[in-house]
Structures are given as structure tokens and as C-alpha cells.
Structure 1
């Protein structure tokens, strides 16, 4: 059982960060119901570990200036989203022989203008999508993104760069620039 002061602290954490975690999950999965489920599951997992996550058991993270419980929660959401996506892909592959195949050909020659951001993000690999979302949609630093995903800063830099390059190809340079708020 978590002591009352820790319970109040977790409640405050939940109130401040639930919406951000649900938004992250939505941007990673593209489904609002799944996003709510993932955010809730991540917060339940965080609650079960709250005594360890909130305390001095993580001096390295605090020494680096990280808001460790938030970084931990983002990492849990990202991992749960990755697992959910992998399960969905396995299920689609398993059922694909039983589906009718439709042509997804687009008659409009201006395909880049017709593709919306969610669809473009969904086409990125999970690692690229997670880096782009954390860096640009949630405005995290490279270090915070690396901590949330459990990867190196170099991986964040390369995955973000590759992801943005793919988005530029799909959406056009101007639209991708507006996505990150830089109007490139």
C-alpha cells in the first residue's frame, strides 16, 4: 500500500500528466480509444511502482535534470504502443489471406496534398514516429526523448531526421515544416 502523502503526490501527477500521456499514445497509435487505454495502463503501471519511481532510487535521472516520473511514464506509453502496434500487425498478417484486396490507387495527382498528418505519421516506423512525436509534437529535448524511449541521443537524432525526411516526401516540405512549427 502506498502511504497517503505518496497517494496525494500520485494523484497530482495524474492530474498534470494524463492528458499529455494520452496525446502521446494517440499520436503513436492514431486511435483515440487505444490511446486512452494505453495512457490508463501506463498510469496503473506507474502507480504500482510509484514508491520507486518518485523517490531517490533514480539519482542518475535527477542528476541529469530529468523529470523522471514523467520520462518513465512516457517510456511506458511508448513501449505499450509499440506492443499494441506489433500485435495488430501480427493479427493483420494472420487474417490477410481471408481479406478481399482493394486497390489503393489515388486518381488525384497531388497525393502529397491529400495525405493528412496522422496518415503520414502512421506510415513511419514506430521508432521514427515516436521520435518525431516526442521531439516536435510534445517539444521534448533530444535527451528527454532518448530517456523516454530508452535509446541513445544519437538514435533520437538519426530517427528524427529520417522520420522528418520521410514526412517531407509524403507531405511536401512546407507542410512538414508547419508540422514542426518552423515553416521550413
Structure 2
């Protein structure tokens, strides 16, 4: 009889640890719950081998532990979506909202793209010192794709990305890279709009 109770404790302990580990929870929770459940069942089953008078109490303890584990398995509800899916859904919804806000903002202050008409004038390949929002000045070489009177948009070779630059933050003159000609930013704006 003690061997049967020890084996029953071992089987219930393994089943309990397996049930804990397949549930979606943090690794630390899994570790501590598995440690507690394994210790409970192994200690209960192992005490049967030491004392023959404790059989009824050991059987009751094994039954109580098994019932608790069954109840926990029964009450566990599998999440419908993983945390990654929920985060991606949130990110996608924010992206949709941001796109909508950006479209509204572009419609409110953008009027005409003057840069398209000026490709033949050589005004689209420019270089200048630009002061960003933090007050840091940096030399930029830009292939202008659009200009609306206030904002210059284009491929920035320093950042290796498409960027938007405010005309009033350009420090000094704009240099036309094709000819080396130097122009005041507002003179350049007037020229590109013409």
C-alpha cells in the first residue's frame, strides 16, 4: 500500500506540473506553482512510505490536491488572442488613426507642390544647414520631392530617409548642388514657386 500511494503522489505531482506549465502565464509563475504542486504531492506520497498509521490522512490529502488541480483546470479560460496579437491590433488601430490625422493635417496646410514644376530649373537638388526642433544644426543634402511654400519634403542623404524641413529653420543659404549657386531660402522658395 505505501508503494501505491507513493506512485499516486508521483503521478498526481507530474500531472499537476504539466497542467501548470501548459497554461499561458509568466515563467516565474509557472516555476513557483510547479515547485509548490510537485512538493505537495511528492511529500504527501512519500510520507506514506514512512508511517503506516497515516494512510487515511494521506489518501485524503492526495484526493484534496487532485480535486483542487481539477478545479483549477476547469476554471482556466484560454485567452482568445495572444498578447502579441492584441498589441498588433492596438498598433494597427493607432496607425489608422495617425494616418487619418496626417491626411487631415496635410489637407489643412498643404496647397500646391511647386517642386514638380521646377525640375528643369535645377532647384530640386539642394544642400543647407538645418536647425532641428532641439536646436541642433546639421548639414543636409536633399533631393526635393515637394515644396508647398512652407515645408520642403525630400530624400535627405544624411539621414538616408525621406524627411520634411521647415523653410524658416534653414540656417544660412541654400546651395544648389548641380551648379554650386548659393541662394537665400526665401529667394529659393520664390524661384521654385515661379
TM-score, normalisation: structure 2:
0.27
Structure having the higher helix fraction is 1
Structure having the higher strand fraction is 2
Structure 1 or 2, whichever has the larger Rg, is 2
- Larger RCO (CA within 8 A; separation ≥ 6): 1
